[in-house]
Amino acid sequence: MAKQTIKDLDFHGKKALVRVDFNVPLTKDGDVSDDRRIRAALPTLNHILEQGGALILVSHLGRPSGDPTADAPFTMDKVAARLQELIGRPVQKADDTVGPDAQAKCSALKPGEIVVLENVRFNTGEKKGDPEFARALASLADCYVNDAFGTCHRNEASMVAVPEQFPPDRRAIGFLVEKELTILDQLLGKPKPPMVAVMGGAKVSDKIGVIENLLKKVDTLLIGGAMTYTFLKAQGHEIGKSRCEDDRLDVARRLLDLGGGKIKLPEDHLVTTSIDPKEAKTSVVEGSDLPEGQIGIDIGPKTAAAYAEIIKNAGTVVWNGPMGKFEDEPFRAGTLKVAEAMASSPAVTAVGGGETAEAVEQFGLADKVSHVSTGGGAFLEALEGKAFKSLDVIPDRS
C-alpha cells in the first residue's frame, strides 16, 4: 500500500524536520563535487515552503570517526551553502544537531525559512538509535518527513526512532522517496515484459541476494564488471590476473544453475596489462578464457553490442554496477554502450545508485532514462525484497 506523503500533511505554520540524504562527494577543498542528491530533494523542500512551512534539515555526511580534527571535512557548511545556491533562499547552518545553537535557530524559525543542522553522525546517539537523542531531535519540529531514500535501509535514530516520536498523522515520505518506491513497485510487482537485469561491479558477494530475487522475475540477466571473472572461473575457465572472489566460486556455480540459462556472460573482453590507464596496453580477447598475465577490465565490443540489442528489445530494464573501470577513459566503452542503450530504449529503465548513477551522470544520460536512484545500498536491498523499518514507521495512506 502507498505510504502517507507530504501531500497528506498540512505544513502551514509548521516546522518540518526533513531527513534528507545530503551525503554528497566533496573535492579536496571541501566543496560539493556532485550535487545530484541535493537537487533531487528540491521538489519536496519547495513544496513544504510553498505550503507555509519552515524546514529543519538533517543529514549525515561521510563517516565521522569522533575525532574533531579528522571529522572537520564532514561539517555541513559547504552543503548548506550549495543548497542556498540551488534553492534561491537564505539557508542557516546550525553548529550542532540538538545543542544550544540548533535549539535557538529552530526556535526562532519562521515560515519560509531553512535551517540545516550539523552532521547527524557527529552525535553518537544517531548510529545507536538512542531514544534520548531521538526525543531531543524530534522536539525541534512539529512533523517529520523522510526524503532520504539512500539511507532508508539504515535503522539509525533519524530514520526510525525520531519519526516514532511524532503522532502517525505527522509522519510522511517526501517526493523523492515516493518516486523511488513507485519504480521499485514496478520492478518487483508486474514489470512490463520482457524484463532484463544488468548486473556489474566488482563482487558477486555484494549481489547474491539481488541476483537470487531477480532471477525469479527477469527473462535475462546480463553480467559485466569484475564479477564476470568469478563466474567464469567457477565454470573452469582461465581468467589471467583478473579479479576473482575465490571464496565465492560455489556461490557463482549455484547462481548459474539457478539461472537456468537466464544468465548471460560476456563473449569477449577488453583486457589490459595494468589497471593504471597511463600504463595500460589493452586488447580484445574473444571467448571465455583470458591469456596468462592479462586483466579483464571491461566487456568487449561484441558483448556490448549484444547487451545493447537485448536492452533495446526489453520492456523493463534494471541496471546496477558498471561493466568496467569506467572512471578511466580507456576502460569505459562497455559501460558507455550500456548507458546509451538504456537511454535510447523504449523500455522502463531504472538505474541503481552509487557508481552506476555516477556513470550515467558523467555520460550526460541521466535525464534520458526513466529513473536514476539516489540510493546504492538501499536500492540493492530493496531489489532483494527486504523491508525497511524506516518505511514501516510511516503510515500507509488511508
Q: For residue range 366-389, what is the model confidence (pLDDT) as tens digits?
A: 999 999 998 888 998 999 989 999
Length of the chain measured in residues: 398
Q: Sort strands 371-372 and 348-351 into parallel, antiparallel or unpaired.
A: parallel
Average pLDDT over residues 24-44: 92
321 is catalytic: no
Query: Which residue among 3, 19, 37, 105 is the active-site one?
Result: 37
206: pLDDT confidence band, cut at 50, 70 and 90?
confident
The amino acid at residue 319 is W
- Please state, in angstroms and rounded to a whole number, the distance separating the CA atoms of residues 229 and 223: 10
Phi, psi of 6 (to 5 degrees): -65, -15
What is the b/e burial string over 10-32, where b = at least 16 CB atoms within 10 angstroms of the residue's CB? ebeebbbbbbbbbbbebeeeeeb
Check residue 375 and give its pLDDT: 86
Q: How confident is the model at residue 174 (pLDDT cuts 50, 70, 90)?
A: very high
Of 135, 203, 302, 312, the catalytic one is 203
Catalytic site residue from 30, 112, 209, 377? 377
Q: Which amino acid is at 181?
A: L
Domain boundaries, the chain: 6-178, 190-383
Question: Is there a catalytic annotation at residue 189?
Answer: no
The answer to whether 123 is annotated as binding is: no
Residue that has been written with the C-alpha cell 536492452 in this structure: 311
Say whether 63 counts as a known binding-site residue: yes
Check residue 74 and give its pLDDT: 95
Query: Is 23 known as a binding-site position?
Result: yes
Task: Please check if 249 is assigned to a binding site.
Answer: no
Confirm whether residue 355 is marked as ligand binding. yes
At the top level of CATH, which class does the domain 6-178 belong to? alpha beta
Q: How confident is the model at residue 1 (pLDDT cuts 50, 70, 90)?
A: low
Band (68; pLDDT cuts 50, 70, 90): confident
292 is in an annotated binding site: no
pLDDT band at 280 (very low <50, low <70, confident <90, very high): confident
Half-sphere exposure of 222 (CA within 13 A, CB side): 27
Query: Is 300 assigned a catalytic role?
Result: no
State the pLDDT confidence band at 29, using cuts at 50, 70 and 90. confident
203 catalytic, yes or no?
A: yes
**For a pLDDT cut of 90, what percent of the chain falls above it?**
88
| Set of cell numbers at residue 331 | 576502460
Choose the catalytic residue: 125, 200, 321, 354: 354
Query: Where are the strands (E) in 163-313, listed by range?
Result: 171-173, 195-199, 220-223, 263-264, 268-272, 283-286, 295-299
Ligand-binding site membership of 241 (annotated): no
Tell me, yes or no, if the two domains 6-178 and 190-383 fold the same way.
yes
Q: Is the pLDDT of residue 84 over 80?
A: yes
The answer to whether 35 is a known ligand-binding residue is no
CATH class, 190-383 region: alpha beta
Percent of the chain at pLDDT > 70 equals 100
Asked if 287 contacts 303 with a C-beta cutoff of 8 angstroms, the reply is: no
DSSP, collapsed to helix, strand or coil, labels residue 271 as: strand
The predicted-structure confidence for 345-372, as pLDDT tens digits, reads as follows 999 999 997 899 999 999 999 999 999 9
Bin 190: left if φ > 0, else alpha if -120 < ψ < 50, else beta.
beta
Q: What is the mean pLDDT of the chain?
A: 95
Task: Determine if residue 327 is labeled as part of a ligand binding site.
Answer: yes
Contacts of 297 (CB under 8 A, 6+ apart): 269, 270, 271, 272, 275, 280, 282, 324, 325, 331
